[in-house]
A and B are shown apart, each in its own frame.
Chain A
Amino acid sequence: MVDERLLVGYDSSDDAAVYIASEEIAIIQTLDFFPPVVDDPYDFGRIAAANAISDVYAMGATPKIALNLLCFSNCLSLAVVRKILEGGADKCMEAGAIIAGGHSIEDEEVKYGLSVMGLCHPDKIRRNDTPRHGDVLVLTKPLGTGALSTGAKVDLIEPESERLMVETMARLNKNACEASLELDVSASTDITGFGLMGHASEMAGNDNQTTLVFESQLIPLLPQAIEMATDGILPAGAYRNRHFIGDRASFASDVPLEISDLVFDPQTSGGLLLAMREEDVEPYRDAMRALGEEAWRVGRVLPWEGAPIKVI
């Protein structure tokens, strides 16, 4: 069935479905759920919710209604289930979204997430594949959650690194989105399972008109991410992402292997990657700092230079 009011649907790699309800209102609909990425059930709930809501922020929209999705095994105590749902509820409240219900089923392994509906003016919707040549690429969370989660499973990371990893994953992309709403952002996406390179590849598109150039030295990394990559503590997804992107990303010969591994590291609830005008970068970074967060300039959008992505 074709409905021309479905603006962004299954055929694009965008972050969510967008339906134009009226001249004033676009509905953004998304969902995400996964098995636990951390041991603490409350943290898991917060992270799963921040991750699910993130698609709405990536599109420049405001989350309004959320529905819980829960798979739980019989051997899971009700106290643990309650903690997971509390984590999700707290994040939705922080986002200003109402949890209006949900659905749970029995499964062998616990999984949690949400379906989230957000609203936006149709003219303000942000696409992930429309970067403007000359714009600066800004990233709002450090990379390395995949590598650090892998290390955390076997107690290879320090408690402080683990705490930072959890807080990074549990942080909403609310401030990152809202601080940029008045700016002329040409493309926006959130960094999740495909890693920085995977989502950048979607941003660059397939028309051989645009190259995203990343400066490897500017890419923010979580503490101990380099150590994990150097010691071969990388998840299978990092290699899968590298294989999938293949020669769409070209690396300068002096980019260290551990950095080139981490730009493929699959992220859980990663930050936003925004393409914005040069003159907006410092005001945006100042606004983020004022909100207690950081944003990093990581590269630039250029006319075609032989590959969709270059890392120098």
Chain B
Amino acid sequence: MKTVDTRGLSCPEPVLLVRKAIMEGEYPFVVLVDDATPYENIRRYATNNGHKFEVVEEDGEYKFTFTE
């Protein structure tokens, strides 16, 4: 599965990488996030634009899985 690794990047780069992956349309794909700000920003972008995802948190890192 394709993985978009945004760890270490600061906003707005992570959300832009997610937008790019969505536009490329290769579902499912995983997004790795290591900070609360990109987590919140990606969640807002995806929810408001009708994209389906699941997210799990582990030790302050987040793993989004986008399905469509």
- B8: shortest Cβ distance to chain A, in Å? 14
State A257–B45 Cα separation when bound (angstroms).
12
State A72–B40 Cα separation when bound (angstroms).
34
Interface of chain B: mostly helix, strand, loop or mixed: helix
- Which has the most chain B C-beta neighbours within 10 Å: A151, A234, A258, A261? A234
A105 within 8 A of B: no
- Asked if residues B37 and A154 are in contact (CB atoms below 8 Å), the reply is no
The segment out of B11-19, B23-31, B54-62 that lies at the interface is: B11-19
- Asked if residues B12 and A239 are in contact (CB atoms below 8 Å), the reply is no
Question: Contacts A231-B49, A239-B36; is A151 near B12 (CB within 8 Å)?
Answer: yes
Question: Contacts A150-B12, A151-B12, A154-B16; is A230 near B44 (CB within 8 Å)?
Answer: yes
- Asked if residues A234 and B41 are in contact (CB atoms below 8 Å), the reply is yes
Which bucket holds chain A's interface residue count? 10 to 19
- Asked if residues A230 and B48 are in contact (CB atoms below 8 Å), the reply is yes
Question: Contacts A153-B12, A154-B12, A231-B49; is A236 near B44 (CB within 8 Å)?
Answer: no
Chain A residue numbers with a CB within 8 Å of B10 are 236
State A261–B47 Cα separation when bound (angstroms).
15
- Asked if residues B16 and A236 are in contact (CB atoms below 8 Å), the reply is no
A229 within 8 A of B: yes
B43 within 8 A of A: yes
Question: Contacts A154-B16, A239-B37, A239-B40; is A234 near B11 (CB within 8 Å)?
Answer: yes
B residues sitting closer than 8 Å to A (CB atoms) are 10-13, 15-16, 35-37, 40-46, 48-49
